[in-house]
Amino acid sequence: MKTLLTTLLLALSFNSQAALIKLESLHNDYQVGDTVELQLSISHLSTTLGGFFSELSYATEGFSLVGWQFGNGFDDGFGSWQFADHNALAGLLALDDYADPAADEQLLAANQGSGFVLATLQFLVLSAGDFWFSFNPDWSGALSFDNEFVTVNFSDLQLQVHPASTPVPAPATLVLLLAGLLFLGARKR
């Protein structure tokens, strides 16, 4: 009996594929004062999704949330059920998006493909350093269109922010150059 159960579990584990929810940065180089745009996406789908939920934490000393926009993967033309909760003091953002229970599954499957953008997030950079954007795996996941949990892996994101560069003041450089040329001209006479 143990052999049969072990064989069955192994066979099922080889056939299952976990989806991946990740954050991606559209650019690699940021400075203090820049606006960072991140994409929250899901890939490696083997079934049509009916919804997702996520709780994302970020460093409040490094970033300030400007806004977010949900993707269209759960919209069959009649909208989806979107929920969001932001705690700016704790640096927590919860995003949920669910297809309507009466949604057309074929349209959703066409929108989703094997992966799609769940949401786009914008942050203002407040300070320099290395910062993490992390998922809470206990409060993040996905549901199939049949309302069953989908196995999901999460990929956190680390961003390195550089201090804002200070430009060399052009007028002061020009004044120094002219003063030097006048000095050389006066010395030559």
Query: How many angstroms separate the CA atoms of 74 and 22, rounded?
Result: 18
The pLDDT score that the predictor gives to residue 92 is 97
User: How high is the pLDDT of residue 68?
Assistant: 96
**Lookup: tokens for 166:** 């200070």
pTM of this prediction exceeds 0.75: yes
Measure the CA–CA gap between 20 and 155, rounded to whole angstroms: 7
* Distance separating alpha carbons of residues 115 and 52, to the nearest angstrom: 13
pLDDT of residue 186: 75
- Domain 20-188 classification at class level: mainly beta
Check residue 83 and give its pLDDT. 97
E strand or H helix at 9:
helix 2-15
The contacts of residue 51 (CB under 8 Å, 6+ apart) are 74, 81, 96, 97, 98, 99, 142, 143
pLDDT-flagged residues of the chain (< 70): 1-17, 166-172, 189
Note the pLDDT of residue 168.
Answer: 58
